[in-house]
Amino acid sequence: MDQSDNVLIIGSGVAGMEASLMLSKAGKKVTLVEKLSLIGGKTIKNEETYPNMDCSTCLVAPIQQEILQDGNINVLTSSLVEEVKGDAGDFTVTINKKAGYVDLVACLGCGMCYPVCPVELINEWEENLTNKKAIYVPCAGALPNVPVINAEKCLQLNGTETCNKCVEACMFGAINMIEKDEKVEVNVGAILVATGYDMLDVSTINNLGYGKYPGVYTAMEFERLFAANGPTEGELVMRDGEKVPSSVAIVHCVGRAQTHYCSNVCCMASSKHAHFLHHKLPEAKIYNIYSDICLPDKTYQKFHEDVKAHSSKFIYQADRDKMKISEEKGNLKVEYLDNNNKDAFIQVDMVILANALVPAIGSDDLGKAMGLNHDKFGFIEAQPFRIGSVATSKSGIFVAGCAEGPKDIQNSVIQSEAAVAQIMSLLNT
């Protein structure tokens, strides 16, 4: 068997980025595969991160830059792992790198190509809160700051019209319409799965009015509303682009009956939202409606207590499945069972649903392609018989961060550092 010293990391969130840099510093060659056109994972959707309300961009951008400039790390964006063959020490991995039609080196990120594009699309990365063109970067400040073209929607690439507007607008000749998808094969000794999470689709939950009433938002939509590089440039206005909410209800544990687990980060994210709202809109009435409070770190209780004392009224609901949201005279009516099991309600302008974290879309197929076990919730299973392990059911393949289950940034990074230690121990013996 040919023992390879190289490592494949799948997913470029905080877990994948931390492991990539540590392994590179230890002299390993890393291939970092990311399905999107930008690296950074969900953390770059946050304006600020609890518990210290640090600026997320200030935390993550230097790491993203370091990764993109590191000669030991080959970053493959818009890419998916297709096939994994072999065993620990000697895996052969086939990766499908989707054509982006813009040269990563020639493009200066000047943005001249987007405004001229006639195609308007919904921007899913921005939680559908704004539009993008067929040639786009998902958000301002994306890294790499190089656009990609949606080949199915581009008029030239899908053959519906003879549009060439973006090519003509680019003064640097960076757009290459004849680029093709590419198969990349790598030989690695170990693999780290760091594919993170997605959010539960709350439109599937009855009675909460998501998708029906414009004033109802998900937690990630609210993250983008308060982001300076988000769809409203950080202005706290509702979907009509004008109304500033004067009362907000933040509902904890949304989808817990569906997932059957506590999502670990939502109570703190909800406290963060209350804190932010209070600072941005000091006159607004803010309510956190909860049935359970999860504060899994020694610093979190203080943050939560400060929010409770200064920013938000906390309301206990006895049965989260009995909540009903409706619209009445232009306001949202939030009905719930109070601590005496009696019907109660509040009326607000805005509702933020703290929806559950679920396994990343596609992680089922990815796990199967690699021969990994999933736990009963669908996350990649770490070896259950080893306490605190990040080893999976297949030797040589490790898991870290939210790919293993919901957790905060700190614990995602701790797991990825543990995975690096196990990878080093495997490759250096």
Ligand X SMILES: Cc1cc2nc3c(=O)[nH]c(=O)nc-3n(C[C@H](O)[C@H](O)[C@H](O)COP(=O)(O)OP(=O)(O)OC[C@H]3O[C@@H](n4cnc5c(N)ncnc54)[C@H](O)[C@@H]3O)c2cc1C
**Cβ atoms of 52 and 96 closer than 8 Å:** no
Closer to ligand X by Cβ: residue 77 or 156: 77
CA angle 322, 307, 344 (to 5 degrees): 25
Q: How far apart are CA 188 and CA 302, in angstroms?
A: 44
Closest CA to 86 of 196, 8, 183: 8
Burial classification of residue 230, based on how many CB atoms lie within 10 Å of its CB (0-12 exposed, 13-18 middle, 19 or more buried): buried
Q: How far is the CB of 128 from ligand SF4 (least distance, A)?
A: 20
Q: How many CB atoms lie within 10 A of CB 242?
A: 8
The binder of 196, among ligand X, ligand SF4, none, by C-beta within 5 to 8 A per type, is ligand X
Rounded to the nearest whole angstrom, what is the least distance from the CB of residue 121 to ligand SF4 in the complex?
10
Least distance to ligand X, CB of residue 121, Å: 18
Residue 42 to residue 196: CA distance in whole angstroms: 8
CB of 142 to ligand SF4, least distance (A): 11
CB of 321 to ligand SF4, least distance (A): 46
Q: Pick between residue 10 and residue 170 the one whose CB is nearest to ligand X.
A: 10
Q: How far is the CB of 35 from ligand X (least distance, A)?
A: 4
Residues binding ligand SF4 (CB under 6 A): 102, 107-113, 116-117, 119, 134-135, 147, 149, 154-156, 163-166, 169-170, 172, 174-175
Cβ proximity of 417 and 22 under 8 Å: yes
Judged by beta carbon distances under 5 to 8 A according to partner kind, the member of ligand X, ligand SF4, none in contact with residue 424 is: none
With a CB cutoff of 8 Å and minimum separation 6, the contacts of 163 are 118, 154, 155, 156
Considering beta carbons, is residue 34 or 349 the nearer one to ligand X?
A: 34
> To the nearest whole angstrom, how small is the minimum distance from the Cβ of residue 402 to ligand X?
4
> For residues 182 and 319, which CB has a smaller minimum distance to ligand X in the complex?
182
Q: Which does 194 bind (CB under 5 to 8 A by kind): ligand X, ligand SF4, none?
A: ligand X
Q: Which tokens hold the place of 176?
A: 């290459």
413 binds, among ligand SF4, ligand X, none (CB under 5 to 8 A by kind): none
Looking at beta carbons only, is 156 or 392 nearer to ligand SF4? 156
Which option in ligand X, ligand SF4, none does residue 12 bind, with CB closer than 5 to 8 A by kind?
ligand X
Residue 121 interacts, among ligand SF4, ligand X, none and using kind-specific CB cut-offs from 5 to 8 Å, with none
Residues forming a β-bridge with 325: 334
CB 208 within 8 A of CB 120: no
Calpha distance 171→107 (Å, rounded): 9
Residue 147 binding: pick among ligand SF4, ligand X, none (C-beta 5-8 Å cut-off by kind): ligand SF4
Q: How far is the CB of 43 from ligand X (least distance, A)?
A: 5
Residue 427 phi/psi, 5-degree rounding, is: -75, -25
Other CB atoms within 10 A of residue 160 CB: 11
Strand residue runs (E) in 293-414 = 313-316, 324-328, 331-337, 343-348, 350-355, 357-359, 397-399
Residue 385, both tokens: 């018989």
Q: Which is nearer to ligand X, 117 or 197 (CB)?
A: 197
CB of 158 to ligand X, least distance (A): 25
Residue 225: which of ligand X, ligand SF4, none does it interact with, CB under 5 to 8 A by kind? none
Q: At what angle do helices 56-69 and 14-25 cross, to 10 degrees?
A: 40
Residues forming a β-bridge with 290? 316
382 binds, among ligand SF4, ligand X, none (CB under 5 to 8 A by kind): none
CB of 106 to ligand SF4, least distance (A): 7
Tokens of 280: 């941005």
Place of tokens 């297949």: 394
CA 427 to chain CA centroid, Å, is 30
Tell me which residues touch ligand X (CB under 6 A).
10-16, 33-36, 41-43, 46, 49-50, 80, 194-197, 219-220, 223, 265, 269, 272, 357, 360, 362, 366, 401-402, 407-410, 412
Which CB sits closer to ligand X, 13 or 245? Answer: 13
CB atoms near residue 185 (< 10 Å)? 10
134 vs 205, beta carbon nearer ligand SF4: 134
Beta carbon nearer to ligand SF4, 116 or 238: 116
